[in-house]
Amino acid sequence: MKKSPLQIARASYQPKLPAVFKGNVALNEGAATQSVADQDEIKALFPNTYGMPIINFTATETAKSYPAIAVGVILSGGQAPGGHNVISGLFDGLKKLNPNNKLYGFLGGPSGLVEHKYMELTADIVDEYRNTGGFDIIGSGRTKLEEVAQFEEGEKICKKLGIKAIVIIGGDDSNTNACVLAEYYKNKNAGIQVIGCPKTIDGDLKNEMIEASFGFDTACKVYSELIGNIQRDANSAKKYWHFIRLMGRSASHITLECALQSQPNICIISEEVEAKNMTLNDIVDEIIKVIVNRANHGLNFGTILIPEGLIEFIPAMKRLIAELNDLLASNGEFNSLTTDDEKRQYVKAKLTEESRLVYSDLPKGIAKQLTLDRDPHGNVQVSLIETEKMLIEMVAKKLAALKAQGIYKGKFAAIHHFFGYEGRCAAPSNFDTDYCYSLGYTASILIAENKTGYMSSVRNLTESADQWIAGGVPITMMMNMERRHGEMKPVIQKALVRLDGAPFKYFATHRVEWANEDTSYIYPGPIQYYGPSEVCDQPTHTLLLEQGKMI
Ligand code: FBP
């Protein structure tokens, strides 16, 4: 297959590992752990995997030999740059422990385990994918592993292939499922270990022991490059406002990181919107203030970053969506109506006073979208809602009214963008290349040491790779109880943007200056793989600020 010069160069890159992996590794166990909340409930649900200690690896003179084993690996959920390197790190780690070790990949995500679709990952295959973006080596999928019948099917195929451990590379939900699977197999003494690896561009799988999910670094760098390019265009043409929606299903980490990297004129953070109990109109008013002020200084252009999950964080919208979910769940009466107008009137008549007002205020297209698209659980698919277009429409309407009153004298022309898929399979940055390889390598040692119910953990990430600290964290430690589809379930606690955290505080301190000045833009440029370390190896601004470093 023909390859680009960069692909060829990257294929021969040897990822960096924590120094501890240079020689023999000893395993050190800390004190017993607890879940982040709801300790009694989590302990009762995970009697075999609760309370296990945190593990750190240290160097030792003593060499150990390990019997040959087979391991299975699964890529779960949305793509994130670096997934192939978790697999190559796992492969190399296993082969170093015992050259006869085997690695199988389950195809198309967790369903591969249940449906017994797999392939052996040999050196030839793994070599083709080293340091590349994408999940195409074995594919990914969103099947949830949560039913006993699925676990049993998994056990059958593991027994057939002699698989002693499964590595699940996924986000918070997939790792929650990994923990349930680990508990199930341990409880029945199935002899199958389960190890998780923290993946998601959204950056919301992180805590004290998991400093970052992989893929966040690369994806944010790709989006920031694009935002920077747009800002340079905006500053050159001086005639457009660019409304840019950024992926991140729930938390606004991606949007905040991109703002720190590119310094846009406006950036909305969903978590702040929720905390301040803002309405959609409040958000529009905030945007209007900046646009009018810039127009007064002759600046009829700018950039606005909008997090994908915004709608669900606006408290009044959240209540409206909940009402619509109840109202429209298998509602034959509603479904029998034929015109949009009839449907709109029907919905309006059934909503509470508060939600009726919110619904009536929405642009018609968005209001319709809220009553149309339902996922298999009957929920609105908020990611399909084009918030950036909705905001443009609402802002344009208000500006026209202000113009008629003589308050606004500028010109408003807007362009919308949505960045998500552009970054999810990018060639991993040096950071993600090394981090992912280290996560995979770490997983191989946790397996060899007979651990289960652990997540591979590599910490101290703002230092150079040789100083990274590798080990394992019990997944139960990250769990709490949350209401999901009407039932309380044990899940890994999602990390939202903390308004008292250093990244948000930095943003909040600088946003007025970024809003008003026309020269505050930063142009990050494309990811660099070769060159000076300060250009190629910088971790995210979020990570640097969280660890008390300067940006
Ligand atoms: P994961 O949480 O599985 O990593 O996926 C995150 C994400 O990229 C979100 O940012 C986005 O909303 C969603 O996946 C899109 O899903 P899909 O790939 O199904 O279109």
On whether both 304 and 332 belong to a single domain, the answer is: yes
**What is the number of the ligand 1 atom nearest to the C-alpha of 421?**
8
* Residue 498 DSSP label: P
The answer as to whether 158 is a domain residue is: yes
Considering only CA atoms, which residue is closest to atom 16 of ligand 1? 78
The answer as to whether 7 is a domain residue is: no
On whether both 468 and 334 belong to a single domain, the answer is: no
Q: Is the pTM of this model over 0.85?
A: yes
| Largest CA-CA distance found in the chain, in angstroms, rounded | 81
Active site residue 326: no
Rounded CA gap, 196 and 175, in Å? 6
The pLDDT of residue 498 = 98
User: Is 60 exceeded by the pLDDT of residue 202?
Assistant: yes
On whether both 444 and 318 belong to a single domain, the answer is: no
The answer as to whether 508 is a domain residue is: yes
CATH number at residue 393: 3.40.50.460
Considering only CA atoms, which residue is closest to atom 19 of ligand 1? 78
The partner residues of 115 in beta bridges, in order of sequence, read none
User: Is 70 exceeded by the pLDDT of residue 377?
Assistant: no
The pLDDT of residue 175 = 95
Considering only CA atoms, which residue is closest to atom 10 of ligand 1? 248
CATH number at residue 445: 3.40.50.450
The partner residues of 454 in beta bridges, in order of sequence, read 195, 474
Best residue for ligand 1 mutational test, from 380, 383, 496 (most atoms within 8 Å of Cβ): 383
The answer as to whether 433 is a domain residue is: yes
The total domain count for the chain is 2
The mean pLDDT of 434-459, rounded to a whole number, is 98
What's the pLDDT band for 537 if we cut at 50, 70, 90?
very high
Summary mean pLDDT of the chain: 94
The mean pLDDT of 368-396, rounded to a whole number, is 79
CA of 173 to the centre of ligand 1 (A): 12
Could you tell me the sign of the dihedral formed by the alpha carbons of 104, 109, 112, 118, in that order? negative
What's the pLDDT band for 177 if we cut at 50, 70, 90?
very high
Rounded CA gap, 184 and 194, in Å? 10
What's the pLDDT band for 475 if we cut at 50, 70, 90?
very high
CA of 78 to the centre of ligand 1 (A): 5
On whether both 414 and 527 belong to a single domain, the answer is: yes
The answer as to whether 495 is a domain residue is: no
The partner residues of 244 in beta bridges, in order of sequence, read 305, 417
Return the residue matching tokens 């309380």. 488
On whether both 180 and 260 belong to a single domain, the answer is: no
Considering only CA atoms, which residue is closest to atom 20 of ligand 1? 78
User: Is 60 exceeded by the pLDDT of residue 311?
Assistant: yes
User: pLDDT tens, 73-85?
Assistant: 999 999 999 999 9
Other Cβ atoms closer than 10 A to 520: 16
The pLDDT of residue 376 = 53
User: Is 60 exceeded by the pLDDT of residue 416?
Assistant: yes
On whether both 389 and 532 belong to a single domain, the answer is: yes
The mean pLDDT of 87-99, rounded to a whole number, is 98
The mean pLDDT of 283-288, rounded to a whole number, is 97
User: Is 60 exceeded by the pLDDT of residue 257?
Assistant: yes
**Nearest Cα residue to 165 out of 439, 442, 453:** 453
Q: What is the CA radius of gyration of the chain?
A: 25
Residues of the domain holding 448: 24-215+428-484
H or E segment to which residue 166 belongs: strand 163-170
DSSP 3-state of 201: coil
The pLDDT of residue 279 = 92
Tokens of 16: 């960096």
Rounded CA gap, 441 and 18, in Å? 10
Residue % of the chain over a pLDDT of 90: 87
On whether both 542 and 437 belong to a single domain, the answer is: no
Provide the CA 493 distance to its chain's centre, in angstroms.
Answer: 13
Return the residue matching tokens 């949009």. 340
The pLDDT of residue 518 = 75
Q: Give the number of C-alpha atoms closer than 13 A to the C-alpha of residue 96, restricted to the C-beta side.
A: 18
What's the pLDDT band for 374 if we cut at 50, 70, 90?
low
On whether both 417 and 440 belong to a single domain, the answer is: no
CA of 259 to the centre of ligand 1 (A): 20
The dihedrals phi and psi of 379, each to the nearest 5 degrees, come to -95, 150
DSSP 3-state of 56: strand
User: pLDDT tens, 148-176?
Assistant: 999 999 999 999 999 999 999 999 999 99
Q: Give the number of C-alpha atoms closer than 13 A to the C-alpha of residue 31, restricted to the C-beta side.
A: 1
**What contacts 341, CB < 8 A, 6 or more positions away?**
none
| Strand pairing class (454-459; 266-267) | unpaired
Q: Please calculate the CA angle 170-173-174 and round it to the nearest 5 degrees.
A: 35
The answer as to whether 301 is a domain residue is: yes
On whether both 207 and 226 belong to a single domain, the answer is: no
The mean pLDDT of 50-68, rounded to a whole number, is 95
The mean pLDDT of 3-13, rounded to a whole number, is 95
On whether both 330 and 189 belong to a single domain, the answer is: no
CA–CA distances in Å: residue 472 to residues 36, 169, 187, 381, 463 = 16, 14, 20, 35, 19
Residue % of the chain over a pLDDT of 70: 97
Q: How many residues does the chain have?
A: 551
Ligand 1, residues at Cβ distance < 6 Å:
77-78, 80, 171, 200-202, 247-249, 308, 383, 424
On whether both 414 and 480 belong to a single domain, the answer is: no
User: pLDDT tens, 485-498?
Assistant: 667 899 999 999 99
CA of 190 to the centre of ligand 1 (A): 32
Among candidate residues 92, 172, 173, 202, the one labeled active-site is 202
User: Is 60 exceeded by the pLDDT of residue 499?
Assistant: yes
User: Is 70 exceeded by the pLDDT of residue 213?
Assistant: yes
CA–CA distances in Å: residue 15 to residues 11, 305, 439, 447 = 10, 33, 12, 21
What's the pLDDT band for 42 if we cut at 50, 70, 90?
very high
**Nearest Cα residue to 295 out of 516, 443, 447:** 516
The pLDDT of residue 380 = 67
On whether both 47 and 113 belong to a single domain, the answer is: yes
Rounded CA gap, 187 and 368, in Å? 48
The more confident residue out of 379 and 472 is 472
**What is the number of the ligand 1 atom nearest to the C-alpha of 77?**
3
H or E segment to which residue 76 belongs: strand 70-76
User: Is 90 exceeded by the pLDDT of residue 478?
Assistant: yes
**What is the number of the ligand 1 atom nearest to the C-alpha of 201?**
4
What's the pLDDT band for 332 if we cut at 50, 70, 90?
confident
The pLDDT of residue 405 = 96
The answer as to whether 62 is a domain residue is: yes
CA of 76 to the centre of ligand 1 (A): 11
